Amino acid sequence: MNNPWFTNRTKLMKYIHRNINKRVVKDHMDVGAEEYCILLTNQWFNDKIINFYFNLVKIYAATFGTNVYVFSTYFYTSLKARGIKWVQKYTKDENIFLNDYIFIPVHQNNHWVFISIDVNSREVEYYDSLYADNRTVLDIIEYLECERAAKNLKTVKYVMVARKYPRQCNGYDCGLFVCLYARNRIFGTHMSFGSKDLYEYRLRLAHELLEGEVIYSLGHSFGS
């Protein structure tokens, strides 16, 4: 879809409410009324929203010739609970390093963060809307090194890179920021969104979940 369906915020809200019971299934994942209500009422994002939207971002990136490997929100939880050998079974039949980027949404201590790996430059980026502890990156780098060894690939050095990015100013939008980080990252390291009206981003995201595709440009804005 080249142009968004709505440029009017009020009309979009009415559209979402009319379709609040619509269940959308894509690539063995689904979202429905619970997810739309979360987005409309400033609640914390659940795993379904994150996993579904990251898959939409992956599909959208492919239309521009950018290949993204997306881990589910359960990857890091399993990595910490069961170890590297356990999570390596998820990728035993594929080489994640053939992609341009690897995206990892992480949920820990009731907070969402986003890790992006640039496969070619071997840079690991950590996006945390609260600027908290980044030790998670060390776990990911260790996993990447072990995964390369398991695939008989040459040893490389991964470097953590600090980027400038928007920060949340409330206690409930970390999941939204993680989705926006991923959406922006496929076009570069500059994050072109602000925190002026985060509810509009929630509406956009709810609409994209309903349609099962990314439909809004990064700079889109609504009328009243």
Q: 9-211 has which fold?
A: Adenoviral Proteinase; Chain (3.40.395)
pTM score, whole prediction: 0.94
* Residue 78 CB partners (closer than 8 Å, separation 6+): 86, 87
The Cα diameter of the chain in Å comes to: 56
Q: Break the chain into its structural domains and give their ranges.
A: 9-211
Q: Please state, in angstroms and rounded to a whole number, the distance separating the CA atoms of residues 117 and 120.
A: 9
Residue pLDDT tens, the chain, 224 long: 455 678 899 999 999 999 999 999 999 999 999 999 999 999 999 999 999 999 999 999 999 999 999 999 999 999 999 999 999 999 999 999 999 999 999 998 899 999 999 999 999 999 999 876 678 999 999 999 999 999 999 999 999 988 888 888 899 999 999 999 999 999 887 777 877 789 999 999 999 999 999 999 888 888 76
* Residue 138 CB partners (closer than 8 Å, separation 6+): none
